[in-house]
Amino acid sequence: MKITNARVIVCSPGRNFVTLKIETDQGLTGIGDATLNGRELAVAAYLSEHVVPCLIGRDAQQIEDIWQYLYKGAYWRRGPVTMSAIAAVDTALWDIKAKAAGLPLYQLLGGKSRTGVMVYGHANGSDIEHTLDEVLRYAEAGYKAIRAQSGVPGLEKVYGVGKGTLFYEPADADLPSEHDWSSEKYLRHTPRLFERIREKLGFEHHLLHDVHHRLTPIEAGRLGKALEPFQLFWMEDATPAENQQAFRLIRQHTTTPLAVGEVFNTIWDCKELIENQLIDYIRSTVVHAGGITHLRRIADLAALYQVRTGCHGATDLSPACMGAALHFDIWVPNFGIQEYMRHTEETDAVFPHSYHFADGMLYPGETPGHGVEIDEALAAKYPYQRAYLPVNRLQHDGTLHSW
Ligand SMILES: O=C(O)[C@@H](O)[C@@H](O)[C@H](O)[C@H](O)CO
Ligand SMILES: [Mg+2]
């Protein structure tokens, strides 16, 4: 089965997405997500200018060889742009292989290991009471797991508190908007948020929280300890993870489970964290960690150390990523949870898909492949609009801080 063409489709139905569509001489096509929020055109150019010419004429069935060719052949290995491009090729080829077999993708991975994929929704509000209302609404909607993010008194904008309710889009401006930050205000506020939620919700639902890379290791240890009475499912991105050793300090101070990895793009970014059991969940997902081929390798390493998966699933990862991730999730033996930030109606219309939500779970569907397509005519109606993620500055002196 020869690759005859590969096209990069950039569109913006509610937000920017980059999709690679691979065509073969047997008429089968596959798609892969290549979206990198705020740097979309870098991946689009990497694919169209440097990867696509190398794909034409290759055997679409040789997924592993093509992966190795694109990874080692680039010489300049790793990094979010390179690995998102490789991920898109890999995902599209797995889609084609499963379609050729007439099977849903999970069957090629090893079949179902569970009945469905437990997901978490995103409750957020401008203050504790508004956030609590949203948490209770998600519980009412059947979610078994709910992430809670709230505004912080004295801060104008914080991560995770969006304009909408069901979805959250941080890339909100033609140039990066600037947020202010105070770890002290955040550290005083956050335990109160979860105390209030547990008081009204009880302990039957999983609660999650995303620190979003903003604390020092000792501050993260302090927050994790303060949150222990509220039994979180995980505290995510507690501190920037370039220094994997930093998590050793957090681990010394708290039993609150730790999740990290949505910004990782290869197994090398998390090898120490996993081997030293410094985390409980690895958040890498299909689009940014080299596709299904590489994500399986990360999951297999994690399984040796009882680290579970918790794939990233924000609105800036397209339905093509979500579809592929769900086939991975329903197979992977050390599954933990899947993030599920719903896409806008325009996005769902551009990316018709077979996955569906019911009772706090997502189900990948039985369509051959990963079950997601792209409506190119509709996509063309939503041209790319440059949009950046915000930047963060310390409120007291303007020092640039992690966003
Ligand atoms: O856990 C999450 O979903 C967040 O960290 C994301 O919303 C993240 O901010 C975006 O994916 C960045 O584009
Ligand atoms: Mg996150």
Name the token pair of 333: 């033996």
Separation of 212 CA from ligand 2 center, angstroms?
6
Average confidence (pLDDT) over 347-368: 98
Closest CA to 141 of 361, 345, 312, 306: 361
Q: What is the pLDDT of residues 168-193, one digit of tens each?
A: 788 888 999 999 999 999 999 999 99
Has residue 4 got a pLDDT over 80? yes
Q: Which residues line ligand 1 (CB under 6 A)?
A: 37, 170, 210, 212, 262, 312, 314, 316, 339, 389
Please provide residue 291's backbone torsions phi and psi, each rounded to the nearest 5 degrees.
90, -170
> In this prediction, what percent of the chain has a pLDDT beyond 70?
99
**Rounded-to-integer distance, Cα 271 and Cα 302, Å:** 9
Separation of 238 CA from ligand 1 center, angstroms?
13
Helix (H, G, I), strand (E, B) or coil at 38: coil
Closest CA to 211 of 231, 186, 232, 228: 186
Helix (H, G, I), strand (E, B) or coil at 69: helix
Better-predicted residue by pLDDT, 163 or 173: 173
The runs of H, that is alpha helices, within 102-237 are 105-109, 128-140, 183-201, 217-227
Name the token pair of 90: 């890999």
State the ligand closest to the CA atom of 36. 1
* Predicted local distance difference test score (pLDDT) of residue 169: 82
Has residue 167 got a pLDDT over 70? no
Q: In this structure, are residues 350 and 382 in contact, taking their beta carbons and an 8 Å threshold?
A: yes
Task: Reduce the secondary structure of 363-400 to three states and give it as a string.
Answer: ECCCCCECCECCCHHHHCCCCCCCCECCEEEECCCCCE
Q: Can you tell me which residue has the tokens 């992977």?
A: 332
Best of 239, 262, 283 to mutate for ligand 1, by most ligand atoms within 8 A of CB?
A: 262
* Predicted local distance difference test score (pLDDT) of residue 386: 96
Task: Indicate the pLDDT class of residue 162, thresholds 50, 70 and 90.
Answer: confident
Closest residue to atom 13 of ligand 1, CA basis: 37
Average confidence (pLDDT) over 214-230: 98
From residue 341, alpha-carbon distances to 75, 146, 178, 289, 318 in Å are 35, 11, 23, 19, 11
Name the token pair of 358: 């019911």
Q: What is the pLDDT of residues 119-154, one digit of tens each?
A: 999 999 999 999 999 999 999 999 999 999 999 999
Name the token pair of 285: 């997902």
The Cβ of residue 384 has, within 10 Å, a number of other Cβ atoms equal to 14
**Rounded-to-integer distance, Cα 386 and Cα 172, Å:** 9
| Nearest-atom index, ligand 1, CA of 160 | 7
Separation of 322 CA from ligand 1 center, angstroms?
14
State the ligand closest to the CA atom of 238. 2
Q: Can you tell me which residue has the tokens 């501190």?
A: 239
Name the token pair of 335: 């599954």
Separation of 2 CA from ligand 1 center, angstroms?
36
Name the token pair of 186: 């955040």
Q: In this structure, are residues 309 and 282 in contact, taking their beta carbons and an 8 Å threshold?
A: yes
Catalytic residue flag (residue 122): no
Q: What is the pLDDT of residues 370-383, one digit of tens each?
A: 999 999 999 999 99
Q: What is the pLDDT of residues 244-295, one digit of tens each?
A: 999 999 999 999 999 999 999 999 999 999 999 999 999 999 999 999 999 9
**Rounded-to-integer distance, Cα 215 and Cα 221, Å:** 9
Average confidence (pLDDT) over 324-332: 99
Q: What is the pLDDT of residues 61-115, one digit of tens each?
A: 999 999 999 999 999 999 999 999 999 999 999 999 999 999 999 999 999 999 9
Please provide residue 374's backbone torsions phi and psi, each rounded to the nearest 5 degrees.
-125, 130
From residue 303, alpha-carbon distances to 287, 308, 335 in Å are 21, 7, 9
Has residue 316 got a pLDDT over 90? yes
Please provide residue 184's backbone torsions phi and psi, each rounded to the nearest 5 degrees.
-60, -45
**Rounded-to-integer distance, Cα 292 and Cα 307, Å:** 18
Catalytic residue flag (residue 179): no
Best of 316, 338, 389 to mutate for ligand 1, by most ligand atoms within 8 A of CB?
A: 316
Angle (nearest 5°) at CA 328 between 214 and 303? 70
> In this prediction, what percent of the chain has a pLDDT beyond 90?
96
* Predicted local distance difference test score (pLDDT) of residue 166: 63
Q: With 0-12 CB in 10 A as exposed, 13-18 as middle and 19+ as buried, what is 140?
A: exposed
From residue 93, alpha-carbon distances to 4, 72, 174, 300, 320 in Å are 13, 18, 34, 21, 13
Please provide residue 12's backbone torsions phi and psi, each rounded to the nearest 5 degrees.
-140, 60
| Nearest-atom index, ligand 1, CA of 341 | 3
* Predicted local distance difference test score (pLDDT) of residue 158: 86
Q: Which one of 71, 138, 159, 281 is the catalytic residue?
A: 159
| Nearest-atom index, ligand 1, CA of 168 | 7
DSSP conformational letter for 127: S
| Nearest-atom index, ligand 1, CA of 283 | 1
**Rounded-to-integer distance, Cα 144 and Cα 228, Å:** 19
State the ligand closest to the CA atom of 168. 1
Average pLDDT of the chain, as a whole number:
97
Q: Which one of 122, 209, 212, 294 is the catalytic residue?
A: 212
Average confidence (pLDDT) over 192-221: 98
